[in-house]
Amino acid sequence: MTAPAILWFRRDLRLSDQAALAVAAAAGPVIPVFILDDDTPKHRRMGAACRWWLHHSLTSLDASLREKGSRLIVRRGKCEEQLANIAEEFGAGQVHCLRHYEPWWRNAEKAVAKRLDLQCHDGNYLLPPGSLTTGGGTPYKIYTPFWRALKDHMPPANPSNGPREIAAPARWPGSDTLDDWGLLPTKPDWATGFAAEWAPGEAGARKRIAAFANAAADYDRCRNLPSQEGSSRLSPHLHFGEVSPATIWHCIADAGGSVDVFLGEIGWRDYAQNIILQFPDYGGRSARQAFDDLPWRSGAAADADLAAWQQGRTGYPIVDAGMRQLWTTGWMHNRVRMIAASFLIKHLLIDWRQGEQWFWDTLVDADYASNAVNWQWVAGSGVDSNMFPRIMAPLTQSEKFDAAAYIRQWVPELAELTDPAIHDPESFGQRPRSYPAKIIGHREARERALAAYDVMKARGN
């Protein structure tokens, strides 16, 4: 019998448009494997919200594999060790995988390749990160020219269907059970609201695409309105690779209207991967070194403010609504993410890395590249970023983007307030006792942030 090949799953939990699976399945028997490796990423081990998603996504993947005559083997430990053990015991000739670009996954691929015949394939991005360069042959650092160049290579190749059946090996390796891993929270179960929002897995991704296809033409307007369902909500499905970006492109690209704005967001995801390929430590180090001299707040008062932000108790309704939505559902509306991030960095003058870490643990779509690039964009510390002195006014943003219904949903103690008082109940003299006063005034916060920026500039001279 032909020696089996190992299919190494990571953030590519799908059977359709899966190049590694297609090559492995065409050659003979396949042993699909997912390894929970918390050692290789070290402090970047998967966050709690993503672990909830992972449990359900792997359950879905195993069911899909069984429909095709296969199954998913799950192991825990270092990837190279677990894969080598399976290969040795079952005589596997090759290991196939989709290439990943997070620094710990690149290290893992190198470690596996030293011991086994590792075949890496592309397919998690519109173009392989690093393959698109400027006329001078250097990687892009600025999004706009990157996106302009990327569009010249679009549309991507048509997505392929998954194999009709997957040949099984003569016998199967031993496997953990997902329950062994304790991915789901129990004491307490803080994820009770997740199931109402999400259907992890490839089938859930297809349903999400179908639902969004009808609204994609109006994306540019609706994506900024928290009270409307204007976002695609495809980010966690993309993060876990339950759908390829090529599949989304071909399903959505002809929607008309402002669909190009949405396609640009898919391009931003590619851009973020290109940035971490150039700067692997982007999630923990400011790209602009001058920001090392910015006097971020620390100590007990800053810690208390950070906790208030995390809990949605800042006294700014739009910020609090977003933070409570995040805790309840593992997701936050895109416009509100920017408002909440800006508030932490510039109103509270707390290091952007504190916010990045909180999002890493609480978002079901916590992608290393996108999370880091977005936080550094807001902070002004990124290679392509907003300027620090451009300080977002959350109360103005709330009214401008008609967030009243969104606030009523997530900050129920304000639900009885009318517009425009709900955006700023304290200024209207209508703040309920159950809702906190503003943690800091907008003008005071702005002046403090600009003063800190001036200190940073002076230290750099």
> Do 270 and 303 belong to one domain?
no
Question: CA separation (Å) from 366 to 50, 70, 337?
Answer: 7, 30, 13
Which residues in 59-97 are b (16+ Cβ under 10 Å) and which e?
Answer: ebbbebbeebebbbbbbebbbbbbbbebbeebebebbbb
> Do 111 and 142 belong to one domain?
no
CATH code of 272's domain: 1.25.40.80
Mean pLDDT of 122-135: 97
| Continuous segment of H or E residues that includes residue 133 | none
Cα 144 from chain centre: 21
> Do 220 and 305 belong to one domain?
no
Q: What is the pLDDT of residue 265?
A: 97
- Please list, in sequence order, all residues whose beta carbon lies within 8 angstroms of the beta carbon of residue 239, skipping any fewer than 6 positions away: 11, 50, 364, 365, 366, 367
- The answer to whether residue 1 scores a pLDDT higher than 80 is no
Domain that holds residue 221: 125-158+202-278
Tell me, what amino acid is at 339? I
Query: Kind of pairing, strands 5-9 and 95-98?
Result: parallel
> Do 311 and 437 belong to one domain?
yes
What is the C-alpha R_g of the chain?
23
pLDDT in tens, 219-230: 999 999 999 988
Query: Residue 234's closest CA among 262, 260, 254, 255?
Result: 262
> Do 261 and 333 belong to one domain?
no
CATH code of 403's domain: 1.10.579.10
Tell me, what amino acid is at 342? S
Give a yes or no: residue 170 inside a domain: no
> Do 379 and 455 belong to one domain?
yes
* Helices and strands, number each (H, E), in the chain: 20, 5
Are the C-beta atoms of residues 351 and 27 closer than 8 Å to each other? no
Domain boundary among 244, 278, 312: 278
- The answer to whether residue 39 scores a pLDDT higher than 80 is yes
Phi, psi of 91 (to 5 degrees): 65, 30
- The answer to whether residue 49 scores a pLDDT higher than 70 is yes
Query: Residue 379's closest CA among 364, 365, 392, 369?
Result: 392
Using CA atoms, how far apart are residues 284 and 228, in angstroms rounded to an integer?
Answer: 34
- Provide the token pair at 159: 């997505």
Domain boundary among 245, 278, 311: 278
Q: What is the pLDDT of residue 357?
A: 98
Mean pLDDT of 398-425: 97
Domain boundary among 210, 243, 278: 278
Tell me, what amino acid is at 327? W
Mean pLDDT of 360-365: 98
Give a yes or no: residue 174 inside a domain: no
Using CA atoms, how far apart are residues 127 and 270, in angstroms rounded to an integer?
Answer: 7
Give a yes or no: residue 400 inside a domain: yes
pLDDT in tens, 334-348: 999 999 999 999 999
CATH code of 114's domain: 3.40.50.620
Q: What is the pLDDT of residue 2?
A: 87
| Continuous segment of H or E residues that includes residue 205 | helix 202-213
Mean pLDDT of 106-110: 98
> Do 391 and 327 belong to one domain?
yes
> Do 153 and 71 belong to one domain?
no
Give a yes or no: residue 187 inside a domain: no
Question: CA separation (Å) from 213 to 205, 235, 259?
Answer: 12, 15, 10
Q: How many domains does the chain have?
A: 3
> Do 448 and 375 belong to one domain?
yes
> Do 115 and 130 belong to one domain?
no
pLDDT in tens, 111-124: 999 999 999 999 99
Give a yes or no: residue 71 inside a domain: yes
Give a yes or no: residue 179 inside a domain: no
- Please list, in sequence order, all residues whose beta carbon lies within 8 angstroms of the beta carbon of residue 15, skipping any fewer than 6 positions away: 21, 61, 64, 65, 68, 162, 163, 202
HSE (side-chain half, CA atoms, 13 Å) at 59: 14
DSSP 233: -
- Provide the token pair at 438: 């503003």
| Residues 356/361/366/371 CA torsion (nearest 10 deg) | 0
Does the pTM surpass 0.85? The reply is yes
Give a yes or no: residue 249 inside a domain: yes
> Do 98 and 147 belong to one domain?
no
Instruction: Catalogue the active-site residues.
Output: 265, 268, 296, 334, 352, 375
- Provide the token pair at 374: 């977005």
- Provide the token pair at 162: 């998954």
> Do 446 and 314 belong to one domain?
yes
Which residues in 363-398 are b (16+ Cβ under 10 Å) and which e?
Answer: bbbbbbbbbbbbbbbbbbbbbbbbebeebbbbbebb
Which residue is listed with tokens 């880091």? 372
Q: What is the pLDDT of residue 461?
A: 67
Mean pLDDT of 96-119: 98
Give a yes or no: residue 383 inside a domain: yes
